[in-house]
Amino acid sequence: MAEGVIAKAEEDIKIAARGELGHALEPAPGLLPGELRPHPTPFKYVLIAVILVVVTALEVGVSYMDGEIPNGLIVALLLIMAVVKFVLVASWYMHLRTDQPIFRRVFTIGAIGAIILYTIVLATLHAIV
């Protein structure tokens, strides 16, 4: 009896969710629950790893250019490359690319909040101009 009540309640919740969100909660055919796109192939993961290695090598190379180019430009280049690597890792290896949009939004809001907080702390400590 209790199992029937629980099953009915679960079905009512699903119907209510569909009414509010449409079919956004239902996965596409052939995908795991919660996925919007299929997972990348192993080749794609290796390709992303190679790109990350190349960007890391560029970062190391830029860090050795001290004195040849202005320090501000070095910092800007290193920050840009770090952001590129962060986006690649978060979207491909953390599977944010194939997940529900709500997870991407929550992650993005948290990352932006952390950047703002970090900038405020650096400005307070006069570590940045």
Instruction: Sketch the domain layout of the chain as residue ranges.
Output: 1-30, 41-98, 100-129
CB 105 within 8 A of CB 45: no
DSSP for 74-97 reads HHHHHHHHHHHHHHHIIIIIS-TT
CB 37 within 8 A of CB 92: no
CB 12 within 8 A of CB 52: no
DSSP three-state, residue 19: helix
Query: Cβ contacts of residue 63 below 8 Å, gap of 6+?
Result: 74, 78
Of all residues in the chain, the percent with pLDDT exceeding 70 is 77
pLDDT (mean) for 52-76: 92
CB 48 within 8 A of CB 91: no
Rounded Cα gap, residues 84 and 129, in angstroms: 24
What would the pLDDT profile of 70-123 be if each residue is shown by its tens digit?
A: 888 888 899 899 989 999 999 888 888 878 888 889 999 998 999 899 889 888
State residue 94's pLDDT score: 86
